[in-house]
Structure 1
Amino acid sequence: MAEPTVPVLDVPLAAQRLGQLQQKLAAWNVDVLTCAVSKADEEIMQARNIAFSVHLAGLLISECFFMVTPKTLHVFTGKKKLEYLKPLQDRLGEDSVKLHARNKADGNAENYEKAGEVLEQSKKGVGFVSTRHSGSQGPFLDGFEKLVQKAEARDLGSEVGHLMIVQDDKAMTNSRNAGLFSAYVMQKMVRKTLVTMIQDDERISNAQLAEDLERASLDGRVSSKLNLDGSLDAAMLPIVQSGGRYNIKLNAQSDDKRLRAGVVLINMAYSYNNYCANVARTYLFDPSNEHERTYKRLLEVRDEAIKAVRVGATLGQVYDAAINYLKQEDELLVDHLPRNIGCAIGVELQNKDFVIKSGNDNIIEAGMVLRLNVGFADLEDQGKTFSLLVSDTVLVSPKETTVLTEQAKSDLDSIRFQFAEQDEEAQQEASRRLAQTLGERKSRHENSAVNGDAERADHQAEIRERLEAEVRRRLLNQDDDEGSFGTEKTPIAYTDPTRFPYEKVKSQKIIVDRRHETVILPIHGFATPIHISCIKNVSQTDGEDHSLLRINFNHPGIKNIRPNAENEPEAYLKEITFRSQSAPTLQTAFRLIRDTQKKYKDIELERKRNE
């Protein structure tokens, strides 16, 4: 199996950020800051300790313990991972960067002793970066955790999060590119695709459309057109909502119901070199007067919020600007505005300490990037429920606020589409053709069936009624066919050969296709796609000079999460193990497989609850 390209540390940037971190220790009244990143943390999206690793080292380093003092950075992890950080040590010196390799021979006793000495030398106090993972972090990190608890360390996750959201020049460039890419995808790809599907009455679910949009956006064409050669990825799966079922929160999911005209919400987020941008748009098809009036008001509220984003203002003042405008102009909509309308964004898609809500006194600083998520939830018009949403990513500069996603147009004329008149003409034409067809059938019947009886006439009338009802149902777009998306089917990795990522598999490495819930494994030189439901569990271990990734599959005789597991074969694959000298490669595969498993199980549970 061909070895992938090993990532390279940006040494000047890492040195700069380490220096900023060390300068902040005095302000935080500590002289030691610790951060542990475990394998379990990889399964948790937007964990603060993961963001710390990415901010400082440029990528996620799991099974790692960081210690920062005013003069020295200590890193305890596997030998291969330390090689990635060696250039930083070469630049700053061994006294400034000390790299400690794991040692299973002595149970890491020497490493724990060294860490303990650093903690004991603390005079001001010890701080730590919190993790959202509860319970054991594994034998290696649990040893450090005991030392930190003994030192009575305090949680500095919020302070570290504050430091990370004030972006330097390189981070701001990454955020601009993330915003540019996100806006381009929304304006040039999503808008066109959505209009075509609605106009052609294409039978596709919201969830399938979301997957197709993510796959198409990341196939390389958009990044090539925009001349973006950095690392691009989806910061979350796109969210597509239609048909009267809406959730304007960022944790919403696309459902398996059929895509419907009317009000359609699209919410997307992408990362460029690990820095995120978010954009969401509402698209209105044959909107009512109430839809249009309320949407115009939404844009006004969004604009008021953007005006309030300035250096020196608080996040609470931004929210107050939006809610006060509504109270003056349209008080009935006040209860439909969410309790928060966004947050700071960067390496973390959501910084939960810097939320734009009433009473938040955190001050906006130059270099911050905010996600403004303005919407109205659970509105009603003519007995039908609808919601509206507009999200943009904005960069705060000393003199102005720049909307990084403004290329995705949000004015009413750009998101409103009128098909009603065309539909009415089509309906009249279809009705005329139906009447002509039925008339011809009746004439042929009368000429050929001279001795027809009342029973045959009744039968023909019944057929005519069914045909008329079918045509009316198609013309009025009332053929829900919900069952086609709700029925339980045996999962298939790729239903269409065109969806298979042929270019990616040429590298002969493990590919996790989250869009299709599939893991592609290189087996004897063949790229073998396996649906995520076929995988029972996965584990990853690091040795001194190699890493192992073991995948156990569901097979006859065990409790299987795969539905409709009938006609099990007599021969089957029970497990497979991959070995690589590149630890980060298998760590990434492990994290993506676990994350895809979790999301698949969540979707299956939600589907069963809705049945």
Structure 2
Amino acid sequence: MAEHRNSNSKTGKASGAASAYAINLDNFSKRLKMLYSHWSEHNNDLWGASDVLAIATPPPSEDLRYLKSLALNVWLVGYQFPDTIMVFMKKQIHFLCSQKKASLLEVLKKSAKEVVGAEVVMHVKAKNDDGTALMDSIFRAVRAQSKLDGHDTPVVGYIAREAPEGNLLETWDEKLKNANFQLNDITNGFSDLFAVKDNAEITNVKKAAYLTSSVMKHFVVPKLEKVIDEEKKVSHSSLMDDTEKVILEPAKVKVKLKADNVDICYPPIFQSGGEFDLKPSASSNDENLYYDSTSVIICAIGSRYNSYCSNVARTFLIDANAMQSKAYEVLLKAHDAAISALKPGNKASVAYQAAFSIVEKDAPELAANLTKSAGTGIGLEFRESGLSLNGKNDRVLKAGMIFNVSLGFQNLQTETKNPKTQKFSVLLADTVIVSENFPEVVTSISSKAVKDVAYSFNEDEEEEEEERPKVKAEISGAEAVSSKATLRSVSQETSKEELRRQHQAELARQKNEETARRLAGGGSGMGDNRGGMKSTGELIAYKNVNDLPPPRDLMIQVDQKNESVLLPICGSMVPFHVATVKSVSSQQDTNRTCYIRIIFNVPGTPFNPHDSNTLKFQGSIYVKEVSFRSKDPRHISEVVQLIKTLRRQVASRESEKAERATLVTQEKLQLSGAKFKPIRLSDLWIRPPFGGRGRKLTGALEAHANGFRYSTSRPDERVDVMYGNVKHAFFQPAEKEMITLLHFHLHNHIMVGNKKTKDVQFYIEVMDVVQTLGGGKRSAYDPDEIEEEQSE
């Protein structure tokens, strides 16, 4: 992907005491042994039958680069050593570098001798020296070893794809090619060596993936929703810059990773408006985010932790048409199939073949638009050569391999007159670890389910659809009251979920008919489950005319205390309860004239066919819609916002009241007395979380005589779980996970805040990472910073 950014990767270009950079000798010993064993075992097929491995690391660069030489530096010694030449022989290891780097590498001598029997030889280059004499010394050692092995011409392995940079490497490259050595490319050897990650590497990838998916879930998605909700004009490049800043400051999304260890894999990618590129080299242009009806938005972000990469990509659908919905659902199924195929013993090609077979079966017309690969290996490099998940790769998968599973449909055509939505693409990507039992998706925090990525926010069109058959009964009350600028998820799930919803819809229909019969007979009852605004009784704005607030120049007023909107009609202020308002919108023309349009719930309106209040007055005449014109756009905007806010508050309250009415009465919690101190777990989070605004707080879970009590420092945030109501209890320790949790599945629903639920989780995050709270970043080579990093 894009190639410009200054990396935060640690380098060996130290100032001050060399001992501040402590190389992990255990890691060095283990991995040096792996290198020599792999080299010996696969010398002919992967290492070019080489006698010597010559690795030249280029000087520092502001460009974001993925080079095998840099990867070897980090993998072997934990740091990047720019402008350094490493030569591995059977009995010797040569380093050609500056004095400061040499002083750092001195500690490797003993370990190298003990592990592989190789002597470490330092060639210290003076500042003004071109290194020619030192290179000649290395070449003499190479020839001497070759003669001992009985070879006339030494076979030297090097990384052919890396062009020399800087004076030192250019001189080395020229002398190497003129030294009468046989030069063979060893790129495949390093690719195979880096393919299987050890536990330390997997931990780094998991931390990077946790950051990546957290940024997508807690920053990118809310940011996009806010932009669309408020109809702002924001460019793709601006979204890219904002997202990059959040990645580089993990504390902004409450991820406890040190910012100095974090970097981006590539500049975040945002695409919309018909211009899509699913290649890894794509970039965000300066066009504004396009989110009109049937538009598609693609977001891809990648972050690195300790130089190890992770990636996630999501596609968001806005008022999707049938073709777009089908394309995404087929892609989702194919993506999951590709992930499921990543098992030890399978060939890499199986993943793409599994995805392609799903597409051929469910949507053969889309097969030609499927990407030619299902992803690549990922680790120290964003794209590991030799680990492409295409249909021809016969590489056998092993536990410990990590893949960026990326799959998409490119340049699909849809029937629409809008040029910005005629052509669209869809893309999904996740970071997946191959394990012995099943593939582990480490970016799963960011949901890709249809209900979480498909949005609908065009309410006005619903008025034109009144003549259509009754809408699906599964549409919830919260969706029915959504205005044009209010996002809501499209309800599309698997077949089992659809059957459940159909059953729920039938039950709701029966209940509505029963309620209608009761109301027609003069009794009182509850509002319809499908109503746009659930009401538990008659709507009374004011008991008498004297309660109306004094008029203000016949202007539209919003009375929040009495939950009413007062409209000037024929010279008088006429009150309407906010529950009668279906939607409100405003529009401004070129003459700075503003129009406000208010649509009311009336009998026969979709989403509200059996409203308890309208059923009582079937013969009455209802106002369906009113429009007002004004020269004061500020006042109109304020009125629209107040009405929307008031409607949401009333809808939320009535919905919560209706849900509480259906709860099974629980026994009262018996608190432990002074003699028996309850068992207490502190600093726990709860799922589902409490609603409301403000900073989220941890709480404590206490075990009392007949139940648990979870509470935070806020008096209104408290949940009681009775022992008798617990159907199943689960404990999940933090094994290959970042949280330890307790999960209770209940017999009967309870309320957590304003949410009705049968499942409650209490969890604590368990991560061996440290967050510096001391303010801004310090120098890259600050001794205190280095000490903190090593202690981590």
CA contact (8 A) 2:58 2:84 kept: yes
Distance 1:142 1:426 in 2: 76
Q: Give the aligned partner of residue 292 of structure 1.
A: 325
CA contact (8 A) 1:22 1:69 kept: no
CA contact (8 A) 1:54 1:60 kept: yes
Q: For 1:52, which of 68, 72, 90 is the aligned residue?
A: 72
Q: Give the aligned partner of residue 319 of structure 1.
A: 352
Q: Give the aligned partner of residue 15 of structure 1.
A: 29
Matches within 5 A, 1:119-134: 119-120=142-143, 121-122=145-146, 123=149, 126-130=155-159, 132-134=161-163
Q: For 1:108, which of 125, 131, 135 is the aligned residue?
A: 131
Q: Offset of 1:185 from its aligned partner?
A: 1.2
Distance 1:145 1:41 in 2: 22
Q: What is the DSSP-based 3-state SS (H/G/I as helix, E as strand, rest coil) of the residue aligned with 1:354?
A: coil
1:225 aligned onto 2:248: no
Q: What is the DSSP-based 3-state SS (H/G/I as helix, E as strand, rest coil) of the residue aligned with 2:314?
A: strand
Q: Give the aligned partner of residue 269 of structure 2.
A: 239
Distance 2:359 2:449 in 1: 19
Distance 2:582 2:239 in 1: 26
1:430 aligned onto 2:581: no
Q: Give the aligned partner of residue 226 of structure 2.
A: 196
One-letter identity of the residue aligned with 1:114: S
Q: Point out the structure with max Rg over C-alpha.
A: 2
Distance 1:354 1:175 in 2: 17
Q: Give the aligned partner of residue 424 of structure 2.
A: 386
Distance 1:230 1:40 in 2: 17
Q: Offset of 1:44 from its aligned partner?
A: 6.6
1:55-86 deviation line (CA, Å, top 9, x unaligned): 22222211111111234322111111222222
1:291-349 deviation line (CA, Å, top 9, x unaligned): 22211111110011112111121222221121122122211111111111211110000
Q: Give the aligned partner of residue 720 of structure 2.
A: none
Given the two structures, how large is their TM-score scaled by the length of structure 2?
0.53
CA contact (8 A) 1:115 1:144 kept: no
Q: For 1:404, which of 425, 435, 442 is the aligned residue?
A: 442
> Are residues 439 and 341 of structure 1, via their aligned partners in 2, closer, same or farther at CA, if it must alter by over 3 Å?
closer
Matches within 5 A, 1:162-201: 162-201=192-231
1:181-215 deviation line (CA, Å, top 9, x unaligned): 11111111111111111111122110111110110
Distance 1:380 1:39 in 2: 47
> Are residues 415 and 60 of structure 1, via their aligned partners in 2, closer, same or farther at CA, if it must alter by over 3 Å?
same
Given the two structures, how large is their TM-score scaled by the length of structure 1?
0.68
Q: Offset of 1:412 from its aligned partner?
A: 0.4
Q: Offset of 1:245 from its aligned partner?
A: 0.9
> Are residues 503 and 132 of structure 1, via their aligned partners in 2, closer, same or farther at CA, if it must alter by over 3 Å?
farther
1:36 aligned onto 2:69: no
> Are residues 111 and 260 of structure 1, via their aligned partners in 2, closer, same or farther at CA, if it must alter by over 3 Å?
same
One-letter identity of the residue aligned with 1:10: N
CA contact (8 A) 2:204 2:305 kept: yes
> Are residues 188 and 431 of structure 1, via their aligned partners in 2, closer, same or farther at CA, if it must alter by over 3 Å?
closer
1:85-140 deviation line (CA, Å, top 9, x unaligned): 22223544595322221146775344223311232113475343425444665245
Q: Between Structure 1 and Structure 2, which shows a larger proportion of helix residues? A: 1
**Percent of matched pairs sharing the same residue:** 25
Distance 1:93 1:80 in 2: 22
Q: What is the DSSP-based 3-state SS (H/G/I as helix, E as strand, rest coil) of the residue aligned with 2:234?
A: coil
Distance 2:594 2:394 in 1: 72
Distance 2:257 2:251 in 1: 10
Distance 1:409 1:37 in 2: 40
One-letter identity of the residue aligned with 2:209: G
Q: Give the aligned partner of residue 62 of structure 1.
A: 82
Q: Offset of 1:51 from its aligned partner?
A: 1.7
Q: How many residues align?
A: 458
CA contact (8 A) 2:250 2:258 kept: no
1:142 aligned onto 2:171: yes
Q: Give the aligned partner of residue 156 of structure 1.
A: 186
Distance 2:435 2:343 in 1: 8
Q: For 2:394, which of 347, 352, 361 is the aligned residue?
A: 361
CA contact (8 A) 2:587 2:595 kept: no
> Are residues 141 and 15 of structure 1, via their aligned partners in 2, closer, same or farther at CA, if it must alter by over 3 Å?
farther
1:486-523 deviation line (CA, Å, top 9, x unaligned): xxxxxxxxxxxxxxxx998774x69xxxxxxxxxxxxx
One-letter identity of the residue aligned with 2:458: A
Q: Offset of 1:285 from its aligned partner?
A: 2.0
Distance 1:217 1:154 in 2: 40
CA RMSD of aligned residues (A): 3.7
One-letter identity of the residue aligned with 2:93: L
> Are residues 467 and 426 of structure 1, via their aligned partners in 2, closer, same or farther at CA, if it must alter by over 3 Å?
farther
Q: What is the DSSP-based 3-state SS (H/G/I as helix, E as strand, rest coil) of the residue aligned with 1:340?
A: coil
CA contact (8 A) 2:307 2:380 kept: yes
Q: What is the DSSP-based 3-state SS (H/G/I as helix, E as strand, rest coil) of the residue aligned with 1:271?
A: strand
One-letter identity of the residue aligned with 2:457: F
Q: What is the DSSP-based 3-state SS (H/G/I as helix, E as strand, rest coil) of the residue aligned with 1:74?
A: strand
CA contact (8 A) 1:136 1:142 kept: no
Structure 1 gaps of 5+ residues are 441-463, 476-501, 511-579, 586-611
Q: For 2:457, which of 408, 414, 419 is the aligned residue?
A: 419
One-letter identity of the residue aligned with 2:33: G
Q: For 2:99, which of 72, 79, 83 is the aligned residue?
A: 79
One-letter identity of the residue aligned with 2:441: V
Q: What is the DSSP-based 3-state SS (H/G/I as helix, E as strand, rest coil) of the residue aligned with 1:357?
A: coil
State the structure with bigger RCO (CA 8 A, min sep 6), 1 or 2.
1
1:97 aligned onto 2:111: no
Q: What is the DSSP-based 3-state SS (H/G/I as helix, E as strand, rest coil) of the residue aligned with 2:428?
A: strand
